[in-house]
Amino acid sequence: MADITPVDYIWKNGEMVPWAEANTHVLSHSLHYGSGVFEGIRCYQDPDSKKSYVFRLRDHMERLHRSCKMVLIDLPYTVDELCDATVELIRKNNLPACYIRPIVYRGYGVMGVDPTGAPADVAIAVWPWDSYLGADALENGVAVGVSSWRQRSNNAIPPAIKATASYMNSILAKLEAKSHGYAEAIMLNEAGLVCEGTGENLFVVRDGILSTPPLSDGLLEGITRDTVLCLADDLEIPSVEESLTRSDLYIADEVFMTGSAAELTPIGSVDGRVVGKPGDITRALQERFFDLVYGRIEEYADWLIEI
């Protein structure tokens, strides 16, 4: 996990604000009650052509709007306005590649569990960010452990909401995993079925078939997850959404995680059970994924915005 590298500007409430001046009052409602929603997005630069693209920006901003709708925050900017602001911000900071963090939160004005009257603050930050789980994670995979912390149910902070409050659960699982020597945690749901990582969706491969838990098992509707399912179809890799148990992780031929931050990260072991080096299907999907985000696959051009 890399530290944040400051850049020149953050977009906040419709204005470009110098990085050091993008402040929030300590009595902002969301700071005390976790009532914010956010997204994680990446801008990629093709190492060959040097062209830069934001990946599935509109899809992320549409999900941000859906999250706001579910938590009853009136988001005062349209999807188009948020997309335009993001592109302008990346250009103003002169970043050929970066991580993008839009966030909507209830600001200063009221206190107490009832947020009525709290203003909606909207910010977009960008900064350079390489591999989420370490320099060699994409190449060699990482060790993970199944957490004792369970993922919340569909009726307790619904997983369809990418909410700041949800990530307290992820923090607890991540810290537990680190204390056990793992790079990442896998959380089960309350029924004991495989759910997701602390910020990633999960895939397993067994006997040539790609499997991932269904959304009904309590996981975020991941945009990278959807991308991988599309790419599997391109490559004629059989795929299925099905409930998975902890044992399915132990006996899988390949396991990997997906997410805007994690991209497509292989898993080398689960609870000390060796999965092994990234397999053929993981490698094929990784290669196809990076060809896509680097702008090398024409049929996915609509998913990219050139900077």
Where b means 16+ CB within 10 Å and e means fewer, 231-255 reads bbeeeebebeeebbeeebbbebbbb
51 catalytic? Reply is: no
Tokens of 243: 């409930």
How far is C-alpha 297 from the geometric centre of its chain's CA atoms?
A: 22
Q: How many CA atoms lie within 13 A of 51 on its CB side?
A: 12
Nearest residue to 16 (alpha-carbon basis) of 93, 76, 100: 93
Neighbours of 296 (CB within 10 A): 14
Nearest residue to 292 (alpha-carbon basis) of 229, 244, 206: 229
Tokens of 258: 């997906």
Nearest residue to 67 (alpha-carbon basis) of 99, 25, 105: 105
- Of 51, 69, 162, 277, the catalytic one is 162
Distance CA 51, CA 301 (A): 13
Distance CA 170, CA 176 (A): 10
Nearest residue to 170 (alpha-carbon basis) of 199, 191, 193, 194: 199
User: CA-CA distances (angstroms) from residue 7 to 85, 89, 100, 138?
Assistant: 16, 10, 12, 26
Distance CA 186, CA 204 (A): 13
Residues annotated as part of the active site:
162
